[in-house]
Amino acid sequence: MAELQRILYVEDEPDIQAVAELALETVGGFTVKICASGEEAVRDAEAFAPDLILLDVMMPGMDGPSTLEALRGIPALAEVPVAFMTAKVQPSEIEHYKSLGARDVIAKPFDPMALSDQVRRIWQGAA
Amino acid sequence: MRALWAKGLLDTPDEERFDRLTRLARRMFGVSIALVSLVDEDRQWFKSRQGLEAPETGRDISFCGHAILGDHILEIRDARADSRFADNPLVTGEPQIRFYAGAPLVTSDGYRVGTLCLIDGQPRQLSEDERRSLRDLADAVEAEIDSTEQQALSDALGDLRRLGDVITRAQSEFIRDTEQDRSQAFDGLLADILELTHSEYGFIGEVLYNPEGLPYLKTYAITNIAWDDATQAFYAANAPRGMEFHNLETLFGAALTSGGPVIANDPARDRRSGGLPEGHPPLEAFLGIPIEHGGERVAMLGIANRPGGYDDSLVEFLQPLLVTLGQLTDAARIRRQHRADQEELARLSRVASETTNGVIITDAEGRVEWVNDGFTRLSGYTQDELRGRKPGKLLQGEGTDPQVAARIGAAVARGDPFQVDMLNYHRDNRAYWVRIQGNPLRDEHGRLQGFMAIESDVTREKEDAERIRESEQQFRSLVDNIPGITYRCLPDDDWTMLYMSDQVDPLSGYPASEFIDNAVRSYASVIHGDDLARVKGAVDQALRAGTDWVVEYRIRHRDGGIRWAQERGSAVRDDAGRVCYLDGFILDVTRDRENREQRQRQLEAFAALNDIASMTTLGLGEQLERALQLGTDFLGLELGIVSRIRGDDYEVHACVAPPGTALEPGQHFSRSRTYCDLIFAKGELVAIDHMAASGHRGHPCYEQFGLEAYIGVIVEVQGERYGTLNFSSVQPRPVGFSDGERMFVRLLARWIGSAIERDAAARALRLSETRLRGLFELSPVGIALNDYATGAFVDLNQALLHPTGYTREEFIALSYWDVTPREYEPMERQQLERMEATGRYGPFEKEYIRKDGSRYPVVLNGMVVHDNTGRKLIWSIIEDISERKRIERMKNEFISTVSHELRTPLTSISGSLGLVTGGAAGALPERMQAMLEIAHKNSKRLELLINDLLDMEKLVAGKMRFERREQPLFPLLEQGVRDNQGYAERYQVRLVLDAEDDGARVVVDADRLQQVLANLLSNAAKFSPEGSEVRLAVDRDGERVRVSVSDHGPGIPEAFRERIFQKFSQADASDSRQKGGSGLGLAITRELVERMDGEVGFDSVPDEGATFWFELGCHLDEARG
């Protein structure tokens, strides 16, 4: 089983982008590509060929679930595990996201120091 | 000759002055004949003659004709020897003239008019002396002639003068004529004429024409020649008005018809004379002159008994007078015609104005010339519409009797008056009866000029007459058909009949002969025993009182049945007042009585039905049963059933039957096996008196149950066949079902139908009531019904009662204000007004006071309703919202608490990050610096969010303090733009204050207004595209100022507009977050503006931007204003 290397992170909020990028690259040592919107992710994801995709839920334009659906439509990405990142983490909400095809849900606010391990665990669960 | 005539000598009587001279001449000359001969054109006339009888001879044989041709005496010594006269008959025959000497007579003006001549039977010669003497005598005759001439001239002049006077007087009399002295004028004229012509009596009359066109005479003036009392009376009565003479077989008649003057100097022998009545003064000469004027014969002058008779010369002499008379007569008749016209006009206008009748005038052909208003009222046609048309064409119609119309036509054609009643048609086609009195209008010659008809509306009269005729007919036929018995009897106990009419037979079954003289039985014996005493009592009482009696009693008929008789009678008394007989009239009123009784029974039965219907405690089954019981009693049939029929199934719904009959409600039969099958087949009432004798004896029902009498009818419920009502009996009916009984059954069926209907409706109502009651009772929301007028509780449910702590009885006894805190009074009044205006109120929130004095919040709404009595009521829904309020309060408290608790750690975080990023702890690596700035910025955002929450909570809880004071608006706006420009720049948006200071002043808390501006401006900036502008504008309208913030952002989605000012609202609460924010900004803005007595709103077109605004009260800066 291959190592988790390439992570596509879709997030519209620049501050969070910065924090998450730092956490994943510096702490986790992953290769991270940040997309500022769902549309951008759908456009660039295949070329980036991520091992894992992290999706913010609430975004202007395409929100997380619709981005997921669009990404699933790309054959090369059909099997790539996806995790949502959201502040709405009531159990019922988590169930809902999983039913949409998400591997897991990462609660916001996340712990930057623990984020990489969390992501790796999700990926391993998927593998 | 003219000279002779003019001198008045010819044909005049003898005159002594001439005779004296001729006598002298005869004696002087001793001749047999001396003459004064006047020679005319064709004769010689002897003014004076001696010795000769003949008054005249022809000129051709006259000697004088020769004599006057010369200036000297013509002397013929012997006529036989003179060739001129030898063969003259006067010479050859008598008087055997031989000698003739004629001295010509010459008038003073030189005319030779005749001779003075001497004649003798012997030849002779005059001596010179004799010739001179003859000439002297002739001169004497000439002198006499001249004197005659002078006299005649003077007479003629006198006559002419008198004629002139007469004419002048007549004209002047006429000119100043008034009605009463017109006759005087003509009287005077007549008197003058009589005097002028030396006549004895006469008349002046107008020539008129009767309808046949024959002339007759109407006198203007006539001499009174009355010869006895009768003629005197006749004269006195008629002369002033004019006497009329129609008989043309008279002398004046001849004058009237011939057209020329009639001179009759020997009337008695004149064949034109009609003779004179006995006693008439003698008529010796008559002159009648018709007088013409304008080519028409207008008048006549008649005069009589001029001495010497009348002649043409007099006629000629009178000519000027006749002309005048003609003029006067004509003037008189014109005047009369004028007066008559005026009178006619006056009469017409009087008729027209005073009468409600219609007046119509037609020309001779019957075409309308004039109608009055009354006619227009009557007929509907105006004069203009009628003029020139024949009224019959317009007014007569299909109902008009053609014979009557023909009668009018014939009368009009003949010019006869007529009177008819006829049906005319008003312009609007309404028929009406008119009485038309038509009269011909004639001119003075009696010629038909037209018709005048008076029309009166006799519609009412006709209708009345028709009604009277009808009622008379009815009465007559009634009388004819009364099956009455007339009688005369003795006043004894048996009422011994002396006479009785045969109609007693059908009443009693016995012929009259058996009653008369009590031959077989007395009349008293057939009167029902129970009634006899009463009848005798009634008769006795009437006899004592001297009145008639009317009494009803029963007769025992021979057939064993009962008949009802009504008797009217009276006593016949002798002179002493003793009763001799009883006379009367007996009517068979059996049918009447039976009908009356049946009606009575029917009425009673229906009254009983009403009673049943009004017994509300009775169930339907019991009601039907009682109704059936009534029916069986009424009809005398023991079995009564109300059936329910569905298809072939016959179910007994209700029934009455004699004890022991196996019949009860709920039993089922096959319809085809019941008589009701017949009803269904026929669709109407079926009544069979005796089944065995009817065509239905083969019916299965008869075979099964043996019912002989049956009556049944369909019962309908809500217009549908429900079943039947039927009554039956095992006994046949002795008499058939009467109409009354049939009607009773029909009505009973209808009653039963409606009873079933009522019951079904009542059930449905009860069901629906039960359901509603359940809903009402079980409703978790309070429901109350109050009287509109008093506010008293009529009904309320448990849900309302429960939170109050009162029992139902306690609560109902309370007044509204016992549970409503006084401070809600204004709000209550407001809601009450709304209810009065719209019939509804609420929803609104208030508090109720519990029994223990504590309060709880409720929300109310309701509506006005009317109950079935029309009483006004209010339905109210009262919801206890204590729980909602409590949760709201909890939430607010929670937010407040949490926010405060959050602020404490946040203050530390924010503070310390601020210090570190500000370099207070020394320089940091670049990446760390970036991270810390992110942290610091977001902690600040968090602070803002928490502040929003707290503000909202304070506002809602009413804890926010406002320090409002009046201040200029413009500087506040400038400050708002300045303060928020930095924020906007982050979105690369520019804020523009697009307004000028007009001095508007507002009463606000400056900080809160800044907060409002910050919210609106930052929102606008946040949603604006990069590089665009946000405009802050001000519009003032009198005492309101509107501040608006416009952006060019995406606008407000339609779906979001309603809740844009609600708390925690964002346009898109789904996963697609648009922009950051608490969602409280606009809610807070609204709260703040409203707390400063303003209002907020927005206008937006999606994709084109939004304009948010707030309005505040303002006034202008005094100094600037």
Cross-chain CB nearest to B1073 (options A18, A22, A58)? A58
Distance from CA of A1 to the nearest CA of B (A): 34
Whether chain A has a CB inside 8 Å of the CB on B905: the answer is no
Distance from CA of A60 to the nearest CA of B (A): 5
* Of B878, B884, B932, the residue nearest B910 (C-alpha): B932
CATH topology agreement for domains B177-338 and B595-765: yes
Contacts of B762 (CB under 8 A, 6+ apart): none
Using a CB-CB distance cutoff of 8 angstroms, which residues of chain B are in contact with residue A22? Answer: 927, 931
Using a CB-CB distance cutoff of 8 angstroms, which residues of chain A are in contact with residue B934? Answer: 15, 18-19
Interface test with A, best of B929, B934, B1071 (most A CBs within 10 A): B1071
What residue segments make up the domains of chain B, in order of their start? 2-157, 177-338, 356-466, 482-588, 595-765, 787-880, 887-955, 961-1116
Report pLDDT for A120.
92
Q: Cα dist. B925→B169, B917, B928, B930, B935 in Å?
A: 165, 11, 5, 9, 15
Distance from CA of A2 to the nearest CA of B (A): 31
* CATH number assigned to the domain covering A6-126: 3.40.50.2300
Q: CB–CB of A63 and B937 under 8 A?
A: no
Give B 1067-1086 residues with CB within 8 A of chain A: 1070-1075
The verdict on whether omega for the bond into residue A109 sits within 30 degrees of 0, i.e. cis, is yes
Using a CB-CB distance cutoff of 8 angstroms, which residues of chain B are in contact with residue A61? Answer: 1072
Contact of B45 with B37, CB cutoff 8 Å:
yes
Q: CB–CB of A60 and B1071 under 8 A?
A: no
Report pLDDT for B65.
80
Cα distance between residue B565 and residue B554, in whole Å? 6
CATH architecture assignment, domain B177-338: 2-Layer Sandwich (3.30)
Q: CB–CB of B1074 and A60 under 8 A?
A: yes
Determine the topology of domain B482-588 in CATH. Answer: Beta-Lactamase (3.30.450)
The ipTM, to two decimals, is 0.71
Distance from CA of A120 to the nearest CA of B (A): 24
Determine the topology of domain B961-1116 in CATH. Answer: Heat Shock Protein 90 (3.30.565)
Interface test with A, best of B909, B917, B934, B945 (most A CBs within 10 A): B934
Tens of pLDDT, residue by residue over B1055-1081, are 777 778 877 665 544 444 455 566 778
Q: CB–CB of B1072 and A62 under 8 A?
A: yes
Cα distance between residue B1116 and residue B1097, in whole Å? 24
Looking at chain B, which residue has its C-alpha nearest residue A37?
B1072
Give B 938-957 residues with CB within 8 A of chain A: 938
Cα distance between residue B486 and residue B499, in whole Å? 8
* Of A71, A127, A64, the residue nearest A97 (C-alpha): A64
Cα distance between residue B453 and residue B449, in whole Å? 13
Please check whether the domain covering B356-466 is classified as CATH 3.40.50.720.
Answer: no
Does A60 have pLDDT greater than 80? yes
pLDDT band at A43 (very low <50, low <70, confident <90, very high): very high
What one-character-per-residue DSSP string does A4-54 give? P-EEEEE-S-HHHHHHHHIIIIIII--EEEEESSHHHHHHHHHHH--SEEE
Distance from CA of B1093 to the nearest CA of A (A): 37
Using a CB-CB distance cutoff of 8 angstroms, which residues of chain A are in contact with residue B937? Answer: 15
Helix (H) / strand (E) element for B840: namely strand B840-849
Residue B240: how many other CB atoms lie within 10 Å: 12
Does A30 have pLDDT greater than 50? yes
Distance from CA of A34 to the nearest CA of B (A): 17
Q: CB–CB of A63 and B934 under 8 A?
A: no
Instruction: Give SS3 for B609.
Output: helix
Using a CB-CB distance cutoff of 8 angstroms, which residues of chain B are in contact with residue A59? Answer: 1071-1073
Distance from CA of B858 to the nearest CA of A (A): 34
> Number of residue pairs across A and B with CB atoms under 8 Å?
29
Distance from CA of A15 to the nearest CA of B (A): 6
Tens of pLDDT, residue by residue over B434-488, are 888 888 877 766 777 788 888 888 887 777 777 767 766 664 454 445 557 778 8
CATH of B595-765, one of 1.10.10.10, 1.10.600.10, 1.10.620.20, 3.30.450.40: 3.30.450.40
Report pLDDT for A31.
94
Cα distance between residue B102 and residue B108, in whole Å? 19
* Of A8, A16, A1, A21, the residue nearest A76 (C-alpha): A8
Q: CB–CB of A64 and B1071 under 8 A?
A: yes
Cα distance between residue B978 and residue A52, in whole Å? 47
Using a CB-CB distance cutoff of 8 angstroms, which residues of chain A are in contact with residue B927? Answer: 22
Report, as ranges of residue numbers, the positions in chain B whose pLDDT lies below 70: 1-8, 149, 152-154, 156-157, 160, 164, 168-183, 335-356, 444-445, 468, 471-483, 616, 1064-1078, 1118-1121
Cα distance between residue B318 and residue B322, in whole Å? 6
Tell me the whole-structure pTM to 2 decimals: 0.36
Using a CB-CB distance cutoff of 8 angstroms, which residues of chain A are in contact with residue B1074? Answer: 60
Report pLDDT for B375.
84
Report pLDDT for B340.
65
* CATH number assigned to the domain covering B887-955: 1.10.287.130
Determine the topology of domain B2-157 in CATH. Answer: Beta-Lactamase (3.30.450)
Looking at chain B, which residue has its C-alpha nearest residue A56?
B1071
Contact of B1022 with B1035, CB cutoff 8 Å:
no
| Ramachandran angles phi, psi of B604, nearest 5° | -65, -40
The CA-based angle B789-B770-B620, given to 5 degrees, is: 105
Report pLDDT for B354.
54
Class of the domain covering B787-880: alpha beta
Helix (H) / strand (E) element for B663: namely none
